[in-house]
Amino acid sequence: MGVMIIVMGLPGAGKTTVLNGAVSGFADWKVLNYGDMMFEIAKREKIVNERDEMRKLPLKSQKRIQDEAAKKLSEIQGKVILDTHCSIQTATGYMPGLPFDQLRKLKVDYLVFITAPAKDILGRRQRDTTRKRDVVSIEDVERDISVNISYLCTYSVLSGAAASIITNADGKLDDAVGRLKEVIKKAGEA
């Protein structure tokens, strides 16, 4: 029997920074990235060579690989933090990061959504020149946040897991890291 925390966040919310800051003190937790796991599966099957090819796979292949990653995850023992997306925004809509068919395969204890005030997210995306990101307005970011929180609540009802919303506002990284540490600590006690 394991313990699983799923950590999600919008682009620009600072998920990776908060996650790295929080897990450093917990040696017994393993951090797994859902996308990495899918890439490993696809590479082993020799259907892709580069990470970037993943998104070009037919939807059917992507779903099958996602299913296999979920199955693999469900068999992992111990304390796991799964790093993944709440939803993936594409040109034709939001794809659920944890569709029911996959979520039902997992035993989830905590769902964490890292977010930030819309204006902070917008500013971070504008300053980040390393990634090609679409130009969006503050209203778009606000819509994104509320859509993702709706996804989060659905995951919470379906899995029975607690849903934690952690705000990583500009200049308040320590607060966000502290809140994620609390969740990890609590999950480890259960």
CB of residue 148 vs a copy of itself: minimum separation in angstroms? 9
Asked whether 102 and 70 are in contact (CB, 8 A), the reply is yes
Residue 31 bridge partners (DSSP): 81
DSSP letter, residue 1: -
Task: Give the gyration radius of the chain's Cα atoms.
Answer: 16
Q: Is residue 74 at the binding interface for a copy of itself, with CB under 8 A as the rule?
A: no
Question: Closer to a copy of itself at the Cβ: 160 or 171?
Answer: 160
DSSP letter, residue 51: G
Q: Which of 20, 126, 137, 150 binds a copy of itself (CB under 8 A)?
A: 150
Please choose, out of 38-46, 72-80, 122-130, 162-170, the segment that lies near a copy of itself by the rule CB under 8 A. 162-170
Asked whether 84 and 36 are in contact (CB, 8 A), the reply is no
At 48, phi and psi to the nearest 5? Answer: -140, 155
Q: Which of residues 30-59 bind a copy of itself (CB under 8 A)?
A: 58-59
Q: Containing H/E element for 152?
A: helix 138-159
Amino acid type, 161 = A
Question: Closer to a copy of itself at the Cβ: 101 or 128?
Answer: 101
Q: Which of 27, 28, 75, 93 binds a copy of itself (CB under 8 A)?
A: 93
Q: Which of 91, 127, 131, 132 binds a copy of itself (CB under 8 A)?
A: 91
Please choose, out of 37-45, 48-56, 108-116, 119-127, the segment that lies near a copy of itself by the rule CB under 8 A. 108-116
Query: What is d(CA 30, CA 125) in angstroms, rounded to the nearest whole number?
Result: 29
Question: Closer to a copy of itself at the Cβ: 49 or 93?
Answer: 93
Count CA atoms closer than 13 A to 153's CA, side-chain side: 6
CB of residue 93 vs a copy of itself: minimum separation in angstroms? 3
Question: Closer to a copy of itself at the Cβ: 6 or 122?
Answer: 6
Strands 87-90 and 93-96: antiparallel
- For a copy of itself, the binding residues (CB under 8 A) are 58-60, 63, 87, 90-96, 98-101, 103, 110-112, 143, 146-147, 149-160, 162-165, 182-183, 186-187, 190
